[in-house]
Amino acid sequence: MQNPLRLTFRGMAHSEALAAQLTLRVDRLEHFFDRIVSCHVVLDLAGHHHRHGDCYRVTINVGLPKRELIVSHTPSSHRAMETPGTTIDRAFDEAQRQLEDWVRLQRQDRHAAVRPARERDA
């Protein structure tokens, strides 16, 4: 990654365990696509309910060449009791799916651009 990973904790204390989990998940994204320019992850305490506990929101902003990928995950009401770790995993699963789709489209565009050149040479 060209720029260092930025982690922001809002409405809650910084947690080394959650920071380690976030770093691990960003490393997995980088393993899949090694040209990630930047990544900013925000873990936010979105709300608290005396019966259902805390609700967390994760926002991931991944800088790619010529594109920015933004994923935000807030548990639905029936999943309001998700732990911060589970919310992180669900958000990064979605980010990885979107990154895979983007990489697939880039490869298709590259192959489409190369194919006509080969046909002209034949």
Pick the CATH number of 6-121 from 3.20.20.70, 3.30.2290.10, 3.30.160.100, 1.10.10.10: 3.30.160.100
Distance CA 63, CA 56 (A): 23
Q: Is the pTM of this model over 0.85?
A: no
pLDDT at residue 50, rounded to an integer: 54
Beta-sheet pairing, 67-73 with 6-10? unpaired
Structure tokens at 57: 């929101």
| pLDDT tens across the length of the chain (122 residues) | 889 999 999 999 999 999 999 999 999 999 989 899 999 999 998 876 655 567 889 999 999 988 999 999 988 766 556 788 999 999 999 999 999 999 998 888 766 666 555 555 55
